[in-house]
């Protein structure tokens, strides 16, 4: 049990930069008090002491403003920051290392019995005021933005914001890494270029880099084949791009008035 409490305290230090010492965490974090009371109420619930379990859960709500139904299943290192106004329904399931902020509801949208609350897989973060409603799964390490209302399954690793919740599409990391590699090979900083440019231009450059990479791959294949046939055609280095050649272009961009 003490090991579990130690883990709970550590999880606060990992996820709240404001936490200063163990005594402060033990005494001033309602999220921890709510979790400990939930462990007691959950044990009573499973032991068949349903009313007592509900009473302990209700006491936890008075004390912390966090309402966790005794039937909810919660994994390790669960962290509730700030607490207050949190509701976790009876059939909610929460994996390890999940974080909730104040005002989150893990609720249902029907009055049917059976599974009606969400399942949050490990590592999920749900921002302040967000509502996750229904018997679907929020995949591992997904993030729900503050004040979002989510009513459909969320894939692992995705970020959902808004009402109704929509997934933020970020550039594919693998594609970005390939673009970066080919840009470095050519001798210019693709990151710097695409960060500050208007979207259509950045997109066009990205596509050009993708195309260049495909051409580069094919040329390398041809060179290997030629080398195997005894040719030294590809032995010579290609001329490098020189920074000075881009000076005029960059100057033009700097001079451009802000839109
Ligand atoms: C959703 C969240 C995890 C996104 O973080 P991120 O991956 O770093 O994403 P970004 O900050 O780069 O934002 C990406 C886009 O989503 C938008 N966005 C971010 N959070 C949003 C939210 N909660 N609601 C609506 N749009 C949001 C941004 O404006 C940005 O839009 P743009 O691409 O049009 O400029 C984060 O914004 C969030 O809400 N975290 C919860 C934090 C919280 O509740 N803290 C409480 C502390 S007391």
Q: What is the pLDDT of residues 5-25, one digit of tens each?
A: 999 999 999 999 999 999 999
- What is the whole-number distance in angstroms between the Cα of residue 8 and the centre of ligand 1? 26
State the distance from the centre of ligand 1 to the C-alpha of 145, rounded, in angstroms: 6
- Whole-number average pLDDT of the chain: 87
Q: Is the CATH number 3.30.70.100 carried by domain 2-166?
A: no
In this prediction, residue 233 carries a pLDDT of: 83
Distance CA 200, CA 58 (A): 55
Dist. CA 252 → ligand 1 center (Å): 33
- Say which residue, 182 or 40, is predicted with more confidence: 40
CATH 2.160.10.10 residue ranges of the chain are: 2-166
Mean pLDDT for the stretch of residues 49-74: 98
Among 75-89, 140-154, 177-191, which stretch is predicted with the lowest mean pLDDT? 177-191
Pocket of ligand 1 (CB under 6 A): 82, 101, 127-128, 143, 145-147, 159, 161-162, 168
Overall pTM surpassing 0.75 (yes/no):
no
pLDDT above 80 for 243: no
Number of other CB atoms surrounding residue 127 within 10 Å: 20
- Evaluate if residue 258 carries a pLDDT over 70: no
Average pLDDT over residues 175-188: 71
Mean pLDDT of 228-249: 76
Distance 176 CA to ligand 1 centre (A): 21
Return the residue whose CA atom lies nearest to atom 46 of ligand 1: 128
pLDDT value for 131: 98
pLDDT of residue 249: 60
State percent of the chain over pLDDT 90. Answer: 62
Neighbours of 156 (CB within 10 A): 14
Q: What is residue 195's predicted lDDT score, i.e. its pLDDT?
A: 47
Looking at ligand 1, which atom is closest to the CA of residue 147? 23
pLDDT band at 259 (very low <50, low <70, confident <90, very high): very low
Give the pLDDT score at 209. Answer: 82
- Residues contacting 212, CB < 8 A, separation 6+: 182, 186
* Residues 6 or more apart whose Cβ sits within 8 Å of residue 72: 38, 42, 88, 89, 90, 91, 92, 93, 94, 106, 117
Of 96, 97, 32, 94, the closest CA to residue 66 belongs to: 32
pLDDT value for 189? 57
What is the sign, positive or negative, of the torsion defined by CA atoms of 13, 19, 21, 22? Answer: negative
CA torsion angle for 51, 136, 8, 56 (degrees, to 10)? -10
Instruction: State in Å: Cα 229 to ligand 1 middle.
Output: 56
Q: What does each C-alpha distance from 171 to 67, 176, 203 come to in angstroms?
A: 38, 7, 11
Q: Which of 143, 145, 164 to mutate to test the pocket of ligand 1 (most atoms within 8 A of CB)?
A: 145
Q: Which atom of ligand 1 is nearest to the CA of 143?
A: 3
Classify 105 as helix, strand or coil. strand
To which residue do tokens 């979790």 refer?
35
String of b and e for 223-238 (b: at least 16 CB within 10 Å)? eeeeeeeeeeeeeeee
- pLDDT bracket for residue 206 (50, 70, 90): confident
Which atom, in ligand 1's list, is nearest to the CA of 81? 48
What is d(CA 87, CA 13) in angstroms, rounded to the nearest whole number? 24
């Amino acid at each position: 049990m003490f090991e579990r409490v130690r883990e709970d305290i550590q999880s606060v230090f990992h996820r709240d930069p404001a936490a200063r010492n163990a005594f402060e965490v033990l005494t001033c974090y309602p999220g921890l008090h709510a979790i400990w009371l939930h462990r007691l109420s959950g044990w009573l619930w499973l032991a068949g002491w349903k009313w007592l379990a509900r009473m302990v859960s209700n006491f936890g709500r008075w004390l912390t403003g966090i309402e966790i139904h005794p039937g909810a299943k919660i994994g390790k290192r669960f962290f509730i920051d700030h607490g207050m106004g949190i509701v976790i329904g009876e059939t909610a399931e929460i994996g390890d290392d999940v974080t909730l902020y104040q005002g989150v509801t893990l609720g249902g949208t029907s009055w049917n019995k059976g599974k009606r609350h969400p399942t949050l897989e490990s590592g999920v973060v749900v921002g302040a005021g967000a509502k996750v409603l229904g018997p679907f799964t929020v995949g591992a390490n997904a993030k729900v933005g503050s004040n979002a209302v989510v009513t459909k399954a969320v894939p692992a690793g995705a970020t959902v914001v808004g009402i109704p919740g929509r997934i933020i599409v970020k550039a594919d990391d693998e594609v970005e890494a390939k673009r970066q590699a080919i840009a470095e090979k050519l001798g210019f900083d693709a990151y710097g270029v695409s960060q500050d440019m208007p979207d259509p231009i950045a997109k066009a450059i990205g596509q050009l880099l993708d195309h260049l990479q495909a051409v580069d791959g094919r040329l390398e294949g041809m060179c290997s084949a030629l080398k195997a046939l005894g040719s030294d055609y590809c032995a010579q280095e290609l001329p490098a791009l020189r920074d000075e050649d881009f000076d005029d272009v960059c100057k033009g961009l700097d001079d451009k008035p802000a839109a």
